[in-house]
């Protein structure tokens, strides 16, 4: 064997092991391909978006009707995973805003007392950002709750489409469109004056 052959063989073996590990990550992790739905396409519905979110982020979810009953009993902590502007426009009563992309450590540092012994529901505009935060934080947050952590199916868009209120301070709130493209889906989902 030539002196450089072993190094090349080890390099190739290491490269193959890294490729195998990388492939395993794709099998274990949700499919993170680019978003496949165009919210500006008039054929795309909120139900289409909900199906895609469920497929990409396999976390437990809760329907707005179930969440409304939990809220009425005062038996839930609501974590709103949207920007300050979205939150200020309108949020579920009693919700705590959590910065999109927050880690479990950040959530625990700021809100541990609100999680203790209660179900926790994450939400955002349609469920993408809240599912992402929930999925990456689930293992660390579970011991600090009653073990029930959910994503609100369809997010604020579904909540409002079913006629449920949002608040902004002590006034009625309105659903924020997130951006112009998602605003088109919102206007198709919740036709307004």
Phi-psi region of 173 (alpha: psi -120 to 50; beta: other; left: phi over 0): beta
**146 is a domain residue:** yes
Would 147 be classed as within a structural domain?
Answer: yes
- H helices present in 142-189, as ranges: 155-161, 180-189
Say yes or no: 14 and 96 in one domain: no
CA 49, 52, 57, 59 torsion-angle sign: positive
Q: Are residues 174 and 94 in the same domain?
A: yes
Answer yes or no: do 120 and 75 share one domain.
yes
Q: pLDDT for 131-150, tens place per residue? A: 999 999 999 999 999 989 99
* Residue 158 to residue 81: CA distance in whole angstroms: 15
Residue 38 falls within a domain, yes or no?
A: no
Model-level pTM?
Answer: 0.81
Total number of domains in the chain: 2
CB 119 within 8 A of CB 145: yes
Is residue 69 located within the same domain as residue 14? no
Asked whether residue 120 falls in the same domain as residue 55, the answer is yes
Is there a domain that residue 129 lies in? yes
Q: What is the pLDDT of residue 8?
A: 43
The answer on 74 and 17 residing in a single domain is no
Whole-number Å distance between alpha carbons of 16 and 22: 10
Handedness of CA 31, 34, 39, 42 (dihedral sign): negative
Do 85 and 17 share a structural domain?
A: no
* 25 and 50 fall within a common domain: no
Considering the domain architecture, whether residues 3 and 82 belong to the same structural domain is answered as no
Residues 85 and 51 in one domain: yes
In order of 5, 46, 125, the CA distances from 110 in angstroms are 55, 32, 22
Indicate if 135 and 88 belong to the same structural domain.
yes
CA 90 to chain centre: 18
Q: What is the pLDDT of residue 191?
A: 78
Identify each DSSP E strand in 12-155 by its residue range: 61-62, 77-80, 96-97, 120-123, 149-152
Name the one residue in this structure whose structure tokens are 């199906």. 51
- State the residue range of the domain holding 70: 46-189
Low-confidence ranges of the chain (pLDDT < 50): 3-33, 193
């Amino acid at each position: 064997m030539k002196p450089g052959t072993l190094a090349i063989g080890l390099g190739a073996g290491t490269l193959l092991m890294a490729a195998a590990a990388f492939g395993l990550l794709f099998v274990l992790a949700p499919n993170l391909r680019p978003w496949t739905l165009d919210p500006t396409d008039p054929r795309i519905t909120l139900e289409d978006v909900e199906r895609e979110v469920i497929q990409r982020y396999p976390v437990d979810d809760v329907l707005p009707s179930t969440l409304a009953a939990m809220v009425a009993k005062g038996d839930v902590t609501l974590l709103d995973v949207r920007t300050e502007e979205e939150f200020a426009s309108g949020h579920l009563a009693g919700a705590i805003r959590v910065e999109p992309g927050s880690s479990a450590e950040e959530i625990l540092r700021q809100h541990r007392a609100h999680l203790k012994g209660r179900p926790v529901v994450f939400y955002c505009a349609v469920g993408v950002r809240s599912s992402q935060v929930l999925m990456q934080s689930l293992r660390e947050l579970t011991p600090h709750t009653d073990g029930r952590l959910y994503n609100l199916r369809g997010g604020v868009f579904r909540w409002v489409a079913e006629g449920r209120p949002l608040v902004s301070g002590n006034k009625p709130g309105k659903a924020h469109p997130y951006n112009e493209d998602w605003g088109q889906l919102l206007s198709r989902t919740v036709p307004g004056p």
